[in-house]
């Protein structure tokens, strides 16, 4: 195991995702979700590497409206977009999600920004996660699911939860990660990532 900083997690994840031609805005969102998971003592590295494999093979969706069990929506890549869509439009979304834990991270970040209450539940309408002001309550047993049919919606304030609050780790600036997986992520970033320059920015829609 290696100990890495949250800034390293953000930087290397962003560069690795850009190396497989993922849009820079989505890559930054995803890197922030990985950073959030790490600082909340949740595993992220194996899941984000699996996401890159699924993306390259075309077995994951980046469309909020088009997803199936065999091609679920990537919450690692589209989590921020999906939560912002639900929160700003006060809509209920339902569909298949890959790695719901990334969506939980997005829920926490967006709920702080927009001061809204969000609820994520499974196909049986059992709560997976819910935000309440500055707090986040999560059923940790459901965060390890790979593909799940879920509902995401804005909800009214509630104080009756049967799940635990999720808080920052005691050492939020550093996390322990699997050495082999970390080297794979860094290799993706190092081998094919082109550092930002005036030329690369002009070609990326800046």
Q: Compute the distance between CA of residue 13 and CA of residue 16 in angstroms, rounded to an integer.
A: 5
Residue scoring higher pLDDT (75 or 1)? 75
Question: What is residue 24's predicted lDDT score, i.e. its pLDDT?
Answer: 94
Contact (CB, 8 A) for 102 and 79: yes
**Using CB atoms within 10 A of its CB, is residue 24 exposed (0-12), middle (13-18) or buried (19+)?**
middle
List pLDDT tens digits, range 177-199.
Answer: 889 999 999 999 886 545 554 54
Bridge partners of 171?
none
Backbone conformation region of residue 114, classed left if phi is above 0, alpha if psi is from -120 to 50, else beta: alpha
14, 20, 21, 24: CA torsion to nearest 10: -10
In the structure, what pLDDT confidence band is assigned to residue 60 with cuts at 50, 70 and 90? very high
DSSP code, position 61: B
User: pTM of the full predicted structure?
Assistant: 0.86
The Cα–Cα gap between 16 and 4 comes to 16
Looking at the chain, which runs of residues are DSSP E strands? 2-5, 73-74, 93-98, 118-122, 127-132, 135-138, 147-154, 164-165, 174-177
Domain definitions of the chain by residue range: 2-202
């Amino acid at each position: 195991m290696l100990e890495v900083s949250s800034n390293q997690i953000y930087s290397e994840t962003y560069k690795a995702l850009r190396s497989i031609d993922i849009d820079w805005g989505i890559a930054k969102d995803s890197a922030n979700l990985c950073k959030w998971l790490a600082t909340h003592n949740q595993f992220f590295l194996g899941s984000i590497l699996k996401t890159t494999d699924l993306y390259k093979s075309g077995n994951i969706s980046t469309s909020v409206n088009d997803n199936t069990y065999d091609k679920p929506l990537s919450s690692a890549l589209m989590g921020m977009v999906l939560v912002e869509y639900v929160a700003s439009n006060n809509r209920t979304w339902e569909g298949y999600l890959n790695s719901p834990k990334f969506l939980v991270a997005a829920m926490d970040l967006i709920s702080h920004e927009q001061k809204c209450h969000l609820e994520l539940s499974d196909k049986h309408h059992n709560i997976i996660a819910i935000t309440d002001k500055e707090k986040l309550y999560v059923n940790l047993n459901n965060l390890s699911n790979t593909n799940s049919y879920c509902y995401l919606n804005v909800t009214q304030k509630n104080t009756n939860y049967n799940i635990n609050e999720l808080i920052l780790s005691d050492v939020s600036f550093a996390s322990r990660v699997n050495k082999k997986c970390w080297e794979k992520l860094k290799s993706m970033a190092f081998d094919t990532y082109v550092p930002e320059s005036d030329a690369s920015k002009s070609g990326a829609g800046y």
